[in-house]
Structure 1
Amino acid sequence: MDPLAIVLVGAAAVCHALWNLAAKKAADAGAVFVWINSLGSGVIYLPVVAVAAVAYPPRLSWALAGAILVTGVLHVAYSLVLQRGYQRGDLSVVYPLARGTGPLLSVGLAIALFHEKTGVVGLAGAAGVVGGIFVIGFQPGRRDAALAAGIGYGVLTGVFIAAYTVFDAWAVGPLAISPILYDWGNNLVRAALLTPHAWKHRTEIHPIWTKYRGPILTVASIAPAAYILVLFAYRFAPVSLVAPARELSIVVGSVFAWLLLREPQAGRRVAGACLVLAGVVALATAH
């Protein structure tokens, strides 16, 4: 994998783990929370988009508008399912399963749809990343409603991750759409789609903002940065390698969950993290 792609993916992993911790803290805020942070991202990143548009004027087209609409729909579904998962299940279950299922499906779709080729070492690395994620998230002997909900929502979130990963790689690759403009438009579409819900529940907006101002600002500012870094990485490496490698966020998230949330079973999670790191090393040497 290209060294620049590795740097981009590593930075994105830290950002991704940080905003998911923030989203977990606001788990009970639901769709209104998603609406506020999506709208906030649009406002925060407007100056960045304006500068980028002046430096590199975008080519406006129906393909651009259509791609942004599609990714917005996929991302709003992803965001709502993820937030619901954090409301019903544990971070240590939902997050690893979501991040593990996504790249597993992404690699398969990228190879099937884009005819991307990756050698045995690359596939072994992808397997190591995914396997390590499931070691981190698996909790033997635990049987309860929260676990079942976490597994269900985690896997469903992973399906949406795989869908938007493959679609977005095509949008910033063959369509050559600016990642900054693309993600900004995605946030605006999300905010627009959720506006009817926000209006219906408008009495909840101020209390949620007051209670969760910190998590909202964290997600609104960091989540776009995390994904923009990944979108740029797609320009330097194929989806079948970037999608699994970005799951380094699981390692970072596990450390945060252990140190900040005091979640148990640190030894098992460290073992899983080591497997993930081994997989990433294999991915980095695959090409």
Structure 2
Amino acid sequence: MSLFSLLLVVLAAVIHASWNLLAKRASDAGPVFVMAYTCIATLVYLPWAAWIFIESELVFGVFNTQIIVCIVLSGLLHLAYSLFLQRGYQVADLSVVYPIARGAAPVVSTIGAFLFLGEPLFTERVIGLSAVVIGVFLVATRGNLIQFRQPSAYKGVSWGGATGAMIAGYSVVDAYGVKILGIHPVLLDWFANLVRLVMLFPWLLSNRKAAVARMSGRWGLALAIGVLSPLSYILVLFALGMGAPLSVVAPAREMSMMVGALLGMIVLHEEIGVWRFVGCLILVGGVIVLGRS
């Protein structure tokens, strides 16, 4: 992977960690918050998407069956990821669900890249991936793995694994879209957002009053996330489109865990602790190894 592609992924990780920090303030809002920032993202990025569409002299006729299936599948997998993660947080501890989801995602993504994109699994990539997964677990759990021994942890592992599979699923589909089908990153993300919006709209119609109440005082957060969330992912798609392997990009995205820990320390005055610090070092080391592969 080129240095520029790696820098794009690192920048995306910083932005990703930033909007996730904001999203924590509205974690109890439910699907309406997801729909709110998705709607904002669709509106904010419409001019950019339209400009690319017009400048490329595209017509709707070029959206063949493969491209349409890719876009719809991407939107559905992104939506499933959001809903699975939310459900996991409702039935299990975040300290179980989150590390399983973020640790499983790069592993399954790498397997998917090998099977569907024909990416080779070099020894360096396997070592780098392993280091990233270990780092993610240490950062997320602070070295306290005892919660995984609790009987209730089964639900957390199940929903975390399902969430990680959805992350890997949309990662492979989107990589296929930009690498094989040649879909522009901005258009892929925008149309996938539109799919999510359409899928959530029936829920909004049947929950209008509750939706308005839950969004009270949260529109500023929705606006910020609606701008930052697509931007972070578009940068990742650009890196993939420039030839960066998914088996390298997917683990490197987990740099957001380290950035999130640092932001938590600075903004929320959280303690990093020895294990989180060690996890950050291992994670960075894994990304460096991946970048050299």
- TM norm structure 1: 0.91
Q: Show CA shifts across 1:104-138 (max 9, x none).
A: 11111211232211321122111111111112223
Equivalent-residue separation in structure 1 for 2:284 and 2:123 (angstroms): 17
Q: Which ranges in structure 1 are unaligned for 5 or more consecutive residues? A: none
Change (3 A) 1:21 1:151: farther
Equivalent-residue separation in structure 2 for 1:147 and 1:28 (angstroms): 21
Confirm whether residue 205 of structure 1 aligns to residue 198 of structure 2.
no
Equivalent-residue separation in structure 2 for 1:18 and 1:85 (angstroms): 22
Equivalent-residue separation in structure 2 for 1:99 and 1:121 (angstroms): 21
Contact 1:179–1:228 (CA under 8 A) maintained in structure 2:
yes
Change (3 A) 1:203 1:260: same
CA RMSD of aligned residues (A): 2.2
The corresponding residue for 1:284 is: 291
2:128 to 115, 125, 128: 125
The corresponding residue for 1:11 is: 11
Equivalent-residue separation in structure 2 for 1:220 and 1:87 (angstroms): 24
Paired residue secondary structure (1:176):
coil
2:244 to 231, 237, 248: 237
Q: Show CA shifts across 1:171-229 (max 9, x none).
A: 11110011101100111110110111111111022222223223211221111111111
The corresponding residue for 2:145 is: 140
Contact 1:102–1:158 (CA under 8 A) maintained in structure 2:
yes
Q: CA deviation at 1:263?
A: 4.2
Q: CA deviation at 1:140?
A: 3.0
Confirm whether residue 74 of structure 1 aligns to residue 77 of structure 2.
yes
Change (3 A) 1:266 1:154: farther
Q: How many percent of aligned residue pairs carry the same amino acid?
A: 39
Mapping for residues 108-187 of structure 1, pairs under 5 Å? 108-138=111-141, 139-142=144-147, 150-187=156-193
Change (3 A) 1:209 1:202: same
Confirm whether residue 44 of structure 1 aligns to residue 44 of structure 2.
yes
Equivalent-residue separation in structure 2 for 1:133 and 1:53 (angstroms): 38
Q: CA deviation at 1:148?
A: 6.1
Equivalent-residue separation in structure 1 for 2:189 and 2:66 (angstroms): 15
Contact 2:104–2:164 (CA under 8 A) maintained in structure 1:
yes
Equivalent-residue separation in structure 2 for 1:216 and 1:90 (angstroms): 25
The number of residue pairs the alignment matches comes to: 286
Q: CA deviation at 1:152?
A: 4.0
Amino acid at match of 1:274: L
Q: CA deviation at 1:233?
A: 1.1
Equivalent-residue separation in structure 2 for 1:136 and 1:203 (angstroms): 39
Q: CA deviation at 1:145?
A: 8.8
